Structures are given as structure tokens and as C-alpha cells.
């Protein structure tokens, strides 16, 4: 085990080597997966997307948009989001939208819509579900502790974080607070979220994401709430082709990384009924 921290300074002990003999996810039956997800608020499914597909998505990203995005964002003065030739700011792709990276979108769909992945989503949500957007990550300094509360998208949905490469300890590993989806967040914490989002025009919120404009008060408050409730901060080992499914009400984030030198190629999407 090795220590790491969240963006809010919570220490998290992370495993370094995947021990298949003791891995809590790999031997779950379909019924057990559904029960685990319902109780814990998340589920890791190993090797659901073939590694060759993952590699082709990364290759497409590097050939079609990585250099262009690095140059564009540096020119726009966003050098704070670029480190060691890795794009730290995510790329948001909405299905059918007019954007310059249609080739990358089509490549991402080969993983997001992979039959084995869709079968797992069906097991969690039922047969009727849809996904209208996804986000590509090259690298990261870590995302703040949060819940995926979207005031413009009411109702429940399931997030899927798809690893396109082995995610090392140094690569802002995804973390969750198990069972936090069953807790009611204090009103003042929710109000902090709505106070920030109310200041952001809806198209800008959709295009660039909430956390870019957040004051950080909401994330610090929800992190403190999780600590005060005695919740565990868990960061499982995630390798290429693994998928972390999580309830939209689950408290989660990614671990802090001071140097975004290590790649974190991955996709996140959301499925709703």
C-alpha cells in the first residue's frame, strides 16, 4: 500500500499490485454485481473493454487532436492546464454536436458502446438506457471530491469511468466513498454547489464543466462531510479495459497529482434511463 491524498488533503492508502486471488470484484456473479453496486454505490468490472480497442482509441486521440488541443489551449493562455506534453484539461464530446474531433468521438464509441460494457449497464439500469456525451482525459492533477449533481439533468444515472491504459499510482487514480450514495447531504453543502452553478451560463457549464469554475467551497464541505461520517476513501487498482461504474449520488473524485507527467488516458460517460 502507498499513501496518496485527495485535492482536499484527505490521506488515502492505495494498493500498488493487483492481487487477483483477493480482488473483491473479479469473482462476482451478475446477481452479486447488482447487489454490490446497490449497496456500495460503485462496481469495478475487470477487462470489460479489450486492450486492443483501448490502444486504438489512444492512438486516435494522439493523431487527431492532442497536438492541436495543446497548441490551441496554450495560445488561449491556458498553459496552467498543460504539463509535460499532456493535456490536463479534459475534452468534452457530445453525440451529434458540431465539434472538430468527430474521429475521436467515433473511436471513443467503440469502447463506450462495446457490447460487454452495455451488457453490464443493462444489468445495473435495465434494458432501456442512453448516453449522450462523454469526456476524454489525457492527464490530470486530480479532480476534487464531489457528487455528480447536475441541476439540468434530474433523475438517477450511472457513471462509467473507462480506463484506456493501466492507471499507475502517480496518475490521479479514481477514488470513491463506498455507501455515500445512501446519505443525505446537508442542505448548506448542496446550496454551495447551486450557488456556484447559478453563476455559470448553461451552455458554458455544458461545454467546460462545473469544476473549472468552482470556488472549491462545495468540494471542501462535501469532503469534510465524508470524513465526519467516517466514510472510507477507496482507490482501487484500475488497468486498461477495466471500468468503474458509480451511482451519480456517490461521493468520488481522483487523487491529487503534483506533476501530471504520467498519462491517464480514460473516458467517462453517463448512462440514464
**Residue 87 · residue 70 · CB < 8 Å:** yes
Mean of pLDDT values over 170-190: 88
pLDDT of residue 19: 85
Dump pLDDT digits (tens) for 188-225.
Answer: 887 777 776 655 444 444 444 444 445 678 888 899 99
147 pLDDT band, cuts 50/70/90, is: confident
Query: Mean pLDDT highest for which of 76-85, 98-107, 138-147, 177-186?
Result: 177-186
pLDDT of residue 247: 92
> By the 8 A CB rule, do 271 and 162 touch?
no
Q: What is the mean pLDDT of residues 155-163?
A: 86
Task: Calculate mean pLDDT across residues 146-159.
Answer: 68
> The whole model's pTM is what?
0.86
Q: SS3 for 273? A: coil
* 153-176: burial string, b at 16+ Cβ within 10 Å, e else: eeeebbbbbbbbbbbebbbbbbbb
Distance separating alpha carbons of residues 190 and 171, to the nearest angstrom: 29
Alpha carbon distance 93, 84 (integer Å): 24
Q: What's the pLDDT at 242?
A: 97
For residue 163, pLDDT beyond 50 = yes
CB neighbourhood size of 226 (10 A): 22
Instruction: Give the pLDDT confidence score for residue 233 in this predicted structure.
Output: 96
Ranges of beta strands (E only) in 55-140 are: 82-83, 86-87, 91-94, 133-137
Please give the pLDDT value at position 218: 83
Per the DSSP assignment, residues forming a β-bridge with 2 are 14
Which parts of 113-257 fold into alpha helices (H)?
115-125, 187-197, 202-208, 217-228
At residue 122, the pLDDT reads 92
User: pLDDT for 114-137, tens place per residue?
Assistant: 999 999 999 998 888 888 788 888
Rounded CA-CA distance 49/56 in Å is: 12
Amino acid at each position: 500500500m502507498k499513501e496518496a491524498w485527495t485535492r482536499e488533503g484527505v490521506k488515502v492508502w492505495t494498493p500498488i499490485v493487483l492481487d487477483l486471488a483477493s480482488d473483491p470484484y473479479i469473482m462476482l456473479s451478475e446477481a452479486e454485481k447488482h447487489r454490490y453496486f446497490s449497496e456500495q454505490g460503485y462496481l469495478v468490472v475487470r477487462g470489460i473493454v479489450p486492450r486492443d480497442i483501448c490502444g486504438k482509441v489512444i492512438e486516435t486521440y494522439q493523431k487527431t487532436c492532442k497536438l492541436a488541443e495543446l497548441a490551441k489551449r496554450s495560445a488561449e493562455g491556458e498553459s496552467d492546464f498543460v504539463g509535460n506534453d499532456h493535456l490536463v484539461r479534459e475534452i468534452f464530446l457530445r453525440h451529434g454536436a458540431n465539434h472538430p474531433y468527430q474521429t475521436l468521438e467515433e473511436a471513443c464509441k467503440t469502447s463506450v458502446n462495446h457490447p460487454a460494457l452495455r451488457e453490464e449497464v443493462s444489468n445495473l439500469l435495465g434494458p432501456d438506457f442512453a448516453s449522450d456525451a462523454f469526456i476524454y482525459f489525457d492527464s490530470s492533477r486530480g479532480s476534487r471530491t464531489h457528487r455528480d449533481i447536475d441541476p439540468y439533468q434530474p433523475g438517477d444515472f450511472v457513471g462509467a469511468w473507462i480506463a484506456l491504459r493501466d492507471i499507475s499510482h502517480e496518475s490521479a487514480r479514481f477514488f470513491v466513498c463506498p455507501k455515500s450514495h445512501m446519505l443525505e447531504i446537508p442542505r448548506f453543502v448542496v446550496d454551495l454547489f447551486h450557488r456556484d452553478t447559478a453563476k455559470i451560463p448553461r451552455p458554458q457549464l455544458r461545454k467546460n464543466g462545473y469544476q473549472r469554475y468552482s470556488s472549491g467551497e462545495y468540494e471542501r464541505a462535501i469532503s469534510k462531510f465524508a470524513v465526519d461520517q467516517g466514510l472510507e476513501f477507496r482507490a482501487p487498482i484500475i488497468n486498461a479495459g477495466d471500468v468503474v461504474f458509480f451511482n451519480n449520488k456517490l461521493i468520488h473524485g481522483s487523487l491529487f497529482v503534483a506533476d501530471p507527467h504520467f498519462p491517464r488516458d480514460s473516458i467517462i460517460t453517463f448512462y440514464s434511463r
